[in-house]
Amino acid sequence: MIQAGVVGATGYAGAELCRLLTGHPEAELAAVSSVSFEGKALSDVYPSYYKICDKVCGTQEEVVEKSDVIFAALPHGLSQELAAACDAKGKAFIDLGADFRLENEKDYEEWYGNSFAHPELHRKAVYGLPELFREQIRGKKLIANPGCYTTAVPLALYPALEAGLIEKDGIIADCKSGVTGAGRKMTQNTHYPELNEAFTAYKVAAHRHTPEMEQTLSKAAGSPVTLTFVPHLLPVNRGILATCYARLKPGVTEGQIRATYEMRYAGETFLRLLPKGRVADIKNVWYTNYCDLSLHLDQRAGIFIAISAIDNMVKGAAGQAVQNMNLSFGIEETAGLMLVPPAF
Amino acid sequence: MIQAGVVGATGYAGAELCRLLTGHPEAELAAVSSVSFEGKALSDVYPSYYKICDKVCGTQEEVVEKSDVIFAALPHGLSQELAAACDAKGKAFIDLGADFRLENEKDYEEWYGNSFAHPELHRKAVYGLPELFREQIRGKKLIANPGCYTTAVPLALYPALEAGLIEKDGIIADCKSGVTGAGRKMTQNTHYPELNEAFTAYKVAAHRHTPEMEQTLSKAAGSPVTLTFVPHLLPVNRGILATCYARLKPGVTEGQIRATYEMRYAGETFLRLLPKGRVADIKNVWYTNYCDLSLHLDQRAGIFIAISAIDNMVKGAAGQAVQNMNLSFGIEETAGLMLVPPAF
Amino acid sequence: MIQAGVVGATGYAGAELCRLLTGHPEAELAAVSSVSFEGKALSDVYPSYYKICDKVCGTQEEVVEKSDVIFAALPHGLSQELAAACDAKGKAFIDLGADFRLENEKDYEEWYGNSFAHPELHRKAVYGLPELFREQIRGKKLIANPGCYTTAVPLALYPALEAGLIEKDGIIADCKSGVTGAGRKMTQNTHYPELNEAFTAYKVAAHRHTPEMEQTLSKAAGSPVTLTFVPHLLPVNRGILATCYARLKPGVTEGQIRATYEMRYAGETFLRLLPKGRVADIKNVWYTNYCDLSLHLDQRAGIFIAISAIDNMVKGAAGQAVQNMNLSFGIEETAGLMLVPPAF
Amino acid sequence: MIQAGVVGATGYAGAELCRLLTGHPEAELAAVSSVSFEGKALSDVYPSYYKICDKVCGTQEEVVEKSDVIFAALPHGLSQELAAACDAKGKAFIDLGADFRLENEKDYEEWYGNSFAHPELHRKAVYGLPELFREQIRGKKLIANPGCYTTAVPLALYPALEAGLIEKDGIIADCKSGVTGAGRKMTQNTHYPELNEAFTAYKVAAHRHTPEMEQTLSKAAGSPVTLTFVPHLLPVNRGILATCYARLKPGVTEGQIRATYEMRYAGETFLRLLPKGRVADIKNVWYTNYCDLSLHLDQRAGIFIAISAIDNMVKGAAGQAVQNMNLSFGIEETAGLMLVPPAF
């Protein structure tokens, strides 16, 4: 059994990791830590785990000590030192934060206000989006796990850009996220009566996931891509729906597009390309690691529309992290993740 | 007191008209009709109206007889004959359906599968979007009341197109609607457990509100505009948020845009142009006739983003219809509509 | 115009008062105060009020100075000194907190941990539940406005107790409240993802509204009544449903009960006794001052069941406070409160 | 592998059975049937199952043929003949409907309007509530699986009645159910806009689960128990919260009650007796087979309050059916049911 530890276990991504690891057939939740709840059982914070996962929160050091792989579900900026400590001890490290996601330090400085503390670790780090970069991830011990938007949008657009079917400029990602994406920390706009029955956009064209998505899409395109990204907050717990728009290159047909995506994603367990006529819906991937993807064409306007749906806490965080662990340790990629999305 | 009648009073738009007319200082709910509930009191169908609006549903003919103005909240296609009957008796007619909205019969045939039964009535009809076409509405007796999307999107984009600040092609309207927009009729996808916590798009680039929006936007642009329109269904009761994207013309500044909108909408009671830094939210217009509008620029990509929010049942249906009645009868335009949106 | 001021205007009850007073035909919102948002416009805190109620929050003193009637929407314990200040200046004072609700200082000490700072004011204070105590309220200047549960439960049970139709012991009030009842202050259990799709009870048989309800019910019974009160938190914004159970006295018939309630509440605008076969529902009173009440009998078990529904923020707080103001100033009791509950 | 078939697989309980059986380590979904969707894949009806459970709906006969155990998720009244067919072929039959739940044919006639078609099958049938009647279920082939309320209420009250700690008369079960309990069939009151933000009771003291609960509670008490049962409809998808009230027998202490429950439920995996200070919440058992139970005392009034929470679709339907299958086939009782309830 892989001994797996979670640092930041009482945040939402951390708690979701504990849920998935508890049910993993080849891994075991070895230790958890939390600054806010040290000494408390996880089930004191999340009573749904009572008698199932009553592990007591210890320190970050204890987690590193007891684990073969350390998952860090920490606020951005706190992972670099922890990664160094794990690296020094030869432990695998999977970061759910943003510290190792951007290859270009300038982007990191501009959007996060931080610099690279250990440039050599950044060179070691791989970007953990298995459907796009699987071979680079296998066996690696320092993995930057993408965030939610940065999983949903690239999965929707990568094949079309890679195959040169769409224009590289003017791409728009209109995204809608469930509230858990904002974390467990209370804010006035996630206070129940203020969000319930509400719907709005936030950080319009100014969200710091933008450069990360551009980094991935630019790889697909082979040259820099600029993305207009507008996130919205949905009054639901889980899920991201990314509605992505791009201008079709002249002469490209629907058949070409569909064939391209089918080929690119052939054999992918967690990427479900929907048949024509269906539209991706967040409810169909709830609580699981699936990404549903539907393709549409506005023939009248010459616009390609790709709609992807993920559970932001699973494929957009904890599930993908487990998928990366599986790749890192060379076990079945889907281990612990073959959950059936509930129908309602 | 204006005697006002509602045909189709037990549908959602009809019921909302009854709510607004009950509180109107210069109009009186004279009669209501309903095919499904003839002989039943309105409060049997909507118990919230008990002892407030217990009027019994009669026939369409009775409504025409007893009213100075007839509001038709009928399925598309059923208004033309009723309009002719009202016209023959010199009664004002405000149609909440789509029968008189499209000027071009070909569009009507293509998107609705109907033809113009009374072309002379179509020539008489005015398009009831007061903030854009007020002077044409005053005193008129046949008014085509726009639908919800077709109010929210044009209000967001009209001034920029009219002033030539944005490109006419590649415009995208990513819209999200509350469920009441789908009406009172039961469908599997609006069955509570199947919509709750769900979110998806529908009729992707194929919704029949498209030509109506293009008609209005083309007037603004002075030449044909093609729009990519993708509606989504929000798990909330009320509200439409329209996130609209267009490429900026070279050299256009944020200041120019803001000044243009401020001038265009100066003095409008129901159009609230939000200060920089705020984003339109459906919750701020709940149950009222306001349209909130926020303007944003993606400087990196050269994209203009306009976000409008309305209550689909009020500014997107019944409230705007009352506003049109007020203009038709020459009374205060805001009469009966000065409701305060609840803060929560 | 009555000059009305609101102290604590940025809490939920205060904000709701501002909404109602803005639409009141004989009162005017003269001044508002807020400790947390002094110097800010009310519409900065609640953007739904933008351009409708942009009044700037001042100090408590300013409110007292400018107003004929002062509404206090403060945390429990902060009203006594303010009441004294208003009394000294001859101003009317309506307290939405609990400071003047309990007649027995011992109860106040036991459940709130406070004593009566101005016993003479407590003797002056009247309990503002108009449907039960209207004549005592007329013209009075110090009114203790009941809370939400303490309105819903007594309205459901008073007539039956008063007429001696039910046993006085073993009465149970199983109540369910919308989240606004918990106020604007953030708590972990009202953080959106933790309350959404959740449902539980809280303060089981230990909520401090208990003695206040017992005080009212004991008046009805003519002797002390002990109540088992269990509140639950509903994942909805507004509304209280109180399901109340009492053992029927031997031989009491359904007809007797119904006749008793009909007589007791004859002529009440805001108390809608529902016809047999209907059940009170929070949705039918949304945003308005109505209390819906349905009566049921479990003949098999000899249990009387009364179910009442109110909007906790209106009949359970701000609306009832306006109703009390109207009674205090001798104007039409329903002024400013004839709002139609939306059907959806 | 046990070959398991589901008759009525496209209803909510049937679909949930398919989800659980798909993940069961010792059973296999052998066949499914549906009258409404014969010839369609399950994933056409529930797209969340796409590429996971695409089994095509056949006939009832095919299901019986291919399966070792047949689960019937049918409307009440349709199971008796199917049970006879299974019995004749020596197949195990687990009925999620009510046909075999009531021992007394008179009750069945009175509340369901049906008679016993095969009295000998009724004598064979066992009542499948494992925490109370485990030993009677083991190895049996005809199991009446209790419904949702009839699981939640008896689990809350059985130990106290059995030990004689509470009075047998005047017991009240105030229950609140998620909407999936009403099934997939559309009704006006489960149409999204009419249920959202609503809350009311239904079938007040007249729900046909009443005699079934009384049957179980009477076994606990050793003599007939009459129950006042009021169900309410929660605007959430899943979960039942049962708040049960009973008068304490004189002299009974909290310690006695807690000790009684601890002993009665010692070793139960799916019955989590919560520590003092916690309250059962539907969110803590979501999607899983757990029943959470909290015990409370109103010392002032002498009332015992037991609050239980289950997922109505799992412990209240499909999960308990799988638990019964496990007991019937002599495999680990928890097989396929060790799911972790998500924390949010």
Burial A239-263 (b: 16+ CB within 10 A, else e): bbbbbbbbbbbeebeeeebeebbee
Residues of D in contact with B190 (CB under 8 A): 191-193
Q: What is the pLDDT of residue D140?
A: 98
Residue B334: inside a domain, yes or no?
A: no
Other C-beta atoms lying within 10 Å of the C-beta of residue A27? 24
Residues of A in contact with D47 (CB under 8 A): 274, 278, 281, 284
Mean pLDDT of chain C: 97
Residue A325: inside a domain, yes or no?
A: yes
Examine the domain organization and report whether B47 and B192 are in the same domain.
Answer: no
Q: Which of A305, A311, A277, A318 is nearest to A292 (CA)?
A: A311
CB contact under 8 A, A343 and D15: yes
Q: What is the pLDDT of residue B271?
A: 98
Task: Categorize the per-residue pLDDT at A185 as very low, low, confident or very high, splitting at 50, 70 and 90.
Answer: very high
SS3 label, residue D235: coil
Residue C53: inside a domain, yes or no?
A: yes
CB contact under 8 A, A48 and D341: yes
Does residue C57 have an active-site annotation? no
Q: State what percent of residues in chain D have pLDDT above 90.
A: 99
Q: Any idea what DSSP says for residue B188?
A: G
Examine the domain organization and report whether C47 and C154 are in the same domain.
Answer: no
Examine the domain organization and report whether C319 and C258 are in the same domain.
Answer: no
Structural domain count of chain A: 2
CB contact under 8 A, B192 and D196: yes
Could you tell me the CATH number of the domain that includes residue C288? Answer: 3.30.360.10
Q: What is the pLDDT of residue D252?
A: 98
Q: Write the DSSP assignment of D267-294 as a string of letters.
A: T-SSEEEPPTT---BGGGTTTSS-EEEE
Examine the domain organization and report whether B139 and B162 are in the same domain.
Answer: no
> A158 near A308, Cβ under 8 Å?
no
Q: What is the pLDDT of residue A285?
A: 98
Handedness of CA C307, C308, C309, C311 (dihedral sign): negative
Residue D272: inside a domain, yes or no?
A: yes
Who contacts B91 (Cβ-Cβ below 8 Å, separation ≥6)?
A: B64, B67, B68, B69, B70, B141
Residue A337: inside a domain, yes or no?
A: no
How many contacts (CB atoms, under 8 Å) link C and D? 152
Distance CA C231, CA C179 (A): 12
Tell me the two tokens of residue D317: 């339907």
Please write the tens of the pLDDT for every residue from B210-221: 999 999 999 999
How many contacts (CB atoms, under 8 Å) link A and C? 54
Residue of B nearest to C340 (CA): B19
Residue A133: inside a domain, yes or no?
A: yes
Residue from the list C201, C236, C296 with its beta carbon closest to the beta carbon of D204:
C296
Examine the domain organization and report whether D13 and D37 are in the same domain.
Answer: yes
Q: Which of D311, D330, D299, D309 is nearest to D243 (CA)?
A: D309
> C175 near C229, Cβ under 8 Å?
yes
State ipTM: 0.97
Q: For each successive 10 residues of chain B (344 residues), what is the average pLDDT? A: 98 98 98 97 98 98 98 94 98 97 96 94 97 98 97 98 97 98 96 98 97 98 98 98 98 98 98 98 98 97 98 98 98 98 97
Please write the tens of the pLDDT for every residue from D31-74: 999 999 999 999 999 999 999 999 999 999 999 999 999 999 99
Could you tell me the CATH number of the domain that includes residue C66? Answer: 3.40.50.720
Residue labelled with tokens 């007394």:
D104
Examine the domain organization and report whether D113 and D232 are in the same domain.
Answer: no
Interface test with D, best of B192, B200, B236 (most D CBs within 10 A): B192
**Whole-structure pTM value:** 0.98
Q: What is the pLDDT of residue C78?
A: 93
> C170 near C247, Cβ under 8 Å?
yes
Examine the domain organization and report whether A163 and A254 are in the same domain.
Answer: yes
Residue D291: inside a domain, yes or no?
A: yes
Residues of A in contact with B279 (CB under 8 A): 200-202, 204
Residue from the list A172, A232, A307 with its beta carbon closest to the beta carbon of B172:
A172
Q: Are strands D303-310 and D240-247 parallel, antiparallel or unpaired?
A: antiparallel
Interface test with C, best of B24, B314, B340 (most C CBs within 10 A): B340
CB contact under 8 A, B344 and C278: no
Neighbours of chain B (3+ CB pairs under 8 A): A, C, D
Q: Which of C163, C151, C191, C188 is nearest to C285 (CA)?
A: C151
Residue A90: inside a domain, yes or no?
A: yes
Mean pLDDT of the A187-210 span: 97
Please write the tens of the pLDDT for every residue from C204-260: 999 999 999 999 999 999 999 999 999 999 999 999 999 999 999 999 999 999 999
Mean pLDDT of the D75-100 span: 96
Beta partners for residue B56, in sequence order: B41
Examine the domain organization and report whether B172 and B244 are in the same domain.
Answer: yes
Residue of C nearest to D231 (CA): C243
Q: Residue A277: give the domain boundaries.
A: 149-312
Interface test with B, best of D148, D179, D192 (most B CBs within 10 A): D192
Q: What is the pLDDT of residue D60?
A: 97
Examine the domain organization and report whether D111 and D11 are in the same domain.
Answer: yes
Catalytic residue among C18, C53, C86, C148: C148
Catalytic residue among D18, D57, D148, D244: D148
CB contact under 8 A, D243 and C305: no
Q: What is the pLDDT of residue A14?
A: 98
Examine the domain organization and report whether C197 and C124 are in the same domain.
Answer: no
Handedness of CA C325, C326, C327, C328 (dihedral sign): positive
Examine the domain organization and report whether D188 and D96 are in the same domain.
Answer: no
Q: Which residues of chain C have pLDDT under 70?
A: none
Who contacts C219 (Cβ-Cβ below 8 Å, separation ≥6)?
A: none
Beta partners for residue C113, in sequence order: none
Examine the domain organization and report whether B258 and B270 are in the same domain.
Answer: yes
